[in-house]
Amino acid sequence: MRIVLISTPIGYLGSGKGGGVELTLNSLVSGLLSLGHSVEVIAPENSKLHKNNEKAKLYCVEGKDQISWQHQNYDSPVIIPDNSLLVGMLEKGLDIAKQADVLLNMSYDWLPIWMTQIVEKPFAHIISMGNESSVVSNLISKVYAKHPYNFAFHSKIQANDYPFIKKPTIIGNGFKLDNYIFQDAVNGPLAWVGRVAPEKGLEDAVYVANELGEKLKVWGVKEDETYALKIEKSFPQGTIDWMGFVSTNELQVELGKCRVLLNTPKWNEAYGNVVVEALACGVPVVAYKRGGPSEIIQHDQTGYLADPDDKKNMLSYVKIIERIKRKKCREWVEKNASTDIFANKVVNWLNKVIKEYKSK
Ligand code: UDP
């Protein structure tokens, strides 16, 4: 198959601003290449693919980022800036897709989904967020009525956010296991990983660390500086150990030394890459029972699921984290979320999308 992949129009690949989509895209490229498919990636200027993905052709496009939907009101209209990056990436995609079998879109936005109705090529969409926008959700509903195969979701819980999707295609996610080394570090520090933004609920993890009289190691882009500062000021100085945004390789070495990852989203997380990355290193996870993480973590086996927003409940699980066998965490990832498993699911799905177009 020849696949044209369109990245997120928020931040270049490697910036961290695109969140989990950046890693998902690289995992997918790697899995598709190893299955023998040809992949062309369209991404913002300055983007880099992970090494070993060099066989994929990368086209970089210059332009102005979209505003992420989780930081707009649910009823906000679609905004397309002058010199729009999204428009530029779609134009490039259409241009090179002439020779391709399918266009695969990874940006959560209105325009690419709308184009499904007018573009001759099969146009498939990996929906990377829950229902964050009425205009996007209503459009998915409309397009889904005509093209029911064209949408895939990372988790069942995420797909439930779109009640009109009757039989959702669930593709999970994939992780290159060689990039994560298992560590049996039962006495390490507490970890938190993610974009530092209100929907990620960092304050609840800092609360847990403070109650235990420990530091919390925090990795990720400070997307919202004011929010980061506000949390820092609400707790004793030094409770947060800011580690910055680092490469997957650096992240996994340090994360693997931690005894637990705290995952505290306040929104319906579509999947939760960082949860699986921790498990891949052997680090159990305590998360709120909400969104993708509640489908990934096996309560009592690979971590614990606390009642949503109940930080005391979360604290009680962190206190008994040594009961979790770290080997089981790694095993879950090997059996459920390798790049090969992920790419195979995506290929099966894309074959259905292409077949549907051919039958029309
Ligand atoms: N991440 C990273 N380096 C860091 C912190 C985070 O590469 O120092 C990546 C992490 O690997 C993950 C992404 O940031 O892929 C966060 O994705 P997630 O799905 O957890 O949340 P999102 O940002 O998409 O809401």
Candidate of 195, 224, 252, 281 to mutate for ligand 1, largest count of ligand atoms within 8 Å of Cβ: 195
Instruction: Indicate whether 228 pLDDT > 90.
Output: yes
Q: What angle do CA 77, 84, 154 make, to 5 degrees?
A: 65
Instruction: Indicate whether 294 pLDDT > 90.
Output: yes
Residue 335's φ and ψ, nearest 5 degrees, are -80, -20
Instruction: Indicate whether 50 pLDDT > 90.
Output: yes
Closest residue to atom 25 of ligand 1, CA basis: 19
Question: How much is the mean pLDDT over the chain?
Answer: 97
- Give the pLDDT confidence score for residue 134 in this predicted structure: 98
Please compute the mean of the pLDDT values over residues 15-30 and round it to a whole number: 96
Tens of pLDDT along 71-97?
A: 999 999 999 999 999 999 999 999 999
Q: Is the CB of 201 under 6 A from ligand 1?
A: no
Tokens of 291: 């969104």
Q: Is the CB of 254 under 6 A from ligand 1?
A: no
Q: What is the dihedral of CA 46, 47, 53, 59, to 10 degrees?
A: -80
Q: Is the CB of 140 under 6 A from ligand 1?
A: no
CA of 101 to the centre of ligand 1 (A): 30
Q: Is the CB of 296 under 6 A from ligand 1?
A: no
- The superfamily (CATH) of domain 177-336 is Glycogen Phosphorylase B; (3.40.50.2000)
Tens of pLDDT along 170-187?
A: 999 999 999 999 999 889
- Give the pLDDT confidence score for residue 185 in this predicted structure: 86
> Across the strands, what pairs with 169?
152
Tens of pLDDT along 129-170?
A: 999 999 999 999 999 999 999 999 999 999 999 999 999 999
Residue 165's φ and ψ, nearest 5 degrees, are -80, 105
- Give the pLDDT confidence score for residue 360 in this predicted structure: 79
Closest residue to atom 21 of ligand 1, CA basis: 20
Amino acid at 151: F
Tens of pLDDT along 188-204?
A: 999 999 999 999 999 99
> Across the strands, what pairs with 39?
3
Helix, strand or coil, per DSSP, at residue 213? coil
Assigned CATH class of 2-175+338-358: alpha beta
Q: Is the CB of 17 under 6 A from ligand 1?
A: no
Tokens of 23: 């890693």
This model's pTM is above 0.75 = yes
For the chain, the structural domain boundaries read 2-175+338-358, 177-336
CA of 250 to the centre of ligand 1 (A): 13
Given 3-state DSSP classes, what are the helix, strand and coil percentages for the chain, each rounded to the nearest 5?
40, 15, 40
Instruction: Indicate whether 15 pLDDT > 90.
Output: yes
Q: Is the CB of 245 under 6 A from ligand 1?
A: yes
Residues with Cβ within 8 Å of 318's Cβ and at least 6 positions away in sequence, in order, are 190, 208, 212, 260, 262, 286
> Across the strands, what pairs with 5?
41, 104
CA of 220 to the centre of ligand 1 (A): 7
What is the number of the ligand 1 atom nearest to the C-alpha of 16?
14
* Fold match, 2-175+338-358 / 177-336: yes
Q: DSSP state, 192?
A: E
